[in-house]
Amino acid sequence: MNRNGRRLSALIALAVAGVVLALLPRVAGSYALVWISLLCVYLTLAASYDIVGGYMGYMNLGHSTFFGLGAYGTAILLNHGQPLAVAAAGGMVFTAGFAALVSYPLFRLRGAYFALATFGMISLMKVLSNNLRDLTGGSGGISTPPGDHTIGAYYLSVLIAFATLIVSYRVSRSRFGLALFSIREDEEVARAFGTPTNLYKSLALVISSIPASLIGGTYVWSVTYISPPAVFGLEIALSPIVMAMLGGTGTLLGPLLGAVFLTSCQELLWTKLPYLHLTIYGMIMVLVGLFLPGGLVRTAWFRPELDRLGLGEKISYPDLS
């Protein structure tokens, strides 16, 4: 199949998926809609994590900070009587500004130091959201105006997840994305060849923070209540990263595959097993780290298929000038 034929079939597949997802609320019950919304939350977080964690190779373990900040920002603005669009935009601007601010000190670290420092950022946010009671409601959490937003949240989540995948694809096929790959492979060489590494690293962090904050805003609008452990807890922090790792970082389909696989597992297992969720996540992380550091997409079953679809790592750059 030639290049245009592949592109056409990919577009047809996307259109079919779009129509099915758009018509789903007419036939499916609210259980399925809530499940797909949750899947889209995880997918958005995993795919936006991958821009920094996969493309650039900086393990940002604190990615859920952006989710939580977006959720808190949106909730506070909603409680001040703002409409959802204004509230979510406000949360997004706040989160992106925060990401731009912390990127300066954090990117002075590398490797494991960076991973641990970003991980520490989550606990800082948890302490702040517990202590600033006037603003965040403290450990009691914060409620937003009630209402049944299941269908609205479903469409918004699907839209944001889809937009995140598009952004991720566009980034990976751009000059900017190429710079991020080169930072991952060798930062000194990239800088020596004239890549503005500091600027691009901050920019990548800001870009990855935007989808996370938007999906956080959608999430709080639909569940109408959040508390510090719900948005700054370990499970929401680590499950998107585990999904991206399990699927395969640095590829478009890795986070998608990991998110679908792990969210389905959660749905089947978690209801039967009320404890030890973190143990299972931990064991998956250990097994992936020991035996599957490239993720599922780099195994022998998936790799040829992805390369055939033009979504693998063999990227042909059509026009970068």
Partner 1 sequence: MSVDIIQLLVGGILLGGIYGLAAFGLSISFGVLNILNLAHGEFLMLGSLVSYSAFVLLGINPFVSAVLVIPLFVVFGVGFYLLLLKPVSDKPPHQLLVASILVTLGISLAIEDLTAFFWERPVTGIAYSLPAIELGHVVISSLRLSILLFICVLAVLLQAYLKRTFVGRAIRAITQSREGAKIVGVPIAHISGFTFGLGVALAASAGVFYVTLFTVTPVIGIPLTVKYLCVVVLGGLGSLVGSVVGGLILGLSEVLTAYYFGAEWSPCIAFVLLISILIIRPSGLFGIEG
Which residues contact partner 1 (rule: CB under 8 A)?
57, 59, 61, 102, 104-106, 108-113, 115-117, 119-121, 123-124, 127-128, 130-131, 184-185, 234, 238, 245, 249, 275-279, 281-286, 288-290, 293-294
Question: 142 or 161: whose CB is closer to partner 1?
Answer: 142
Question: 46 or 88: whose CB is closer to partner 1?
Answer: 46
Strand ranges in 6-162 using DSSP code E only, listed in sequence order: 142-143
Q: Which of 92, 114, 88 is nearest to 103 (CA)?
A: 114
Question: 282 or 304: whose CB is closer to partner 1?
Answer: 282
Query: Closest distance between partner 1 and the C-beta of residue 165, in Å?
Result: 22
Our CA angle for 113, 116, 118, nearest 5°, is 105
Question: 52 or 158: whose CB is closer to partner 1?
Answer: 52
Query: Closest distance between partner 1 and the C-beta of residue 17, in Å?
Result: 31
Give the chain's length. Answer: 321
Question: 11 or 101: whose CB is closer to partner 1?
Answer: 101
| Residue 229 to residue 235: CA distance in whole angstroms | 9
Query: Closest distance between partner 1 and the C-beta of residue 228, in Å?
Result: 12
Question: Token digits for 112?
Answer: 């494991």
Query: Closest distance between partner 1 and the C-beta of residue 114, in Å?
Result: 9
Place of tokens 């603003």: 135
Strand partners, 226: 142
Q: Is 51 exposed, middle or buried (0-12, 13-18, 19+ CB in 10 A)?
A: buried
Query: Closest distance between partner 1 and the C-beta of residue 263, in Å?
Result: 19
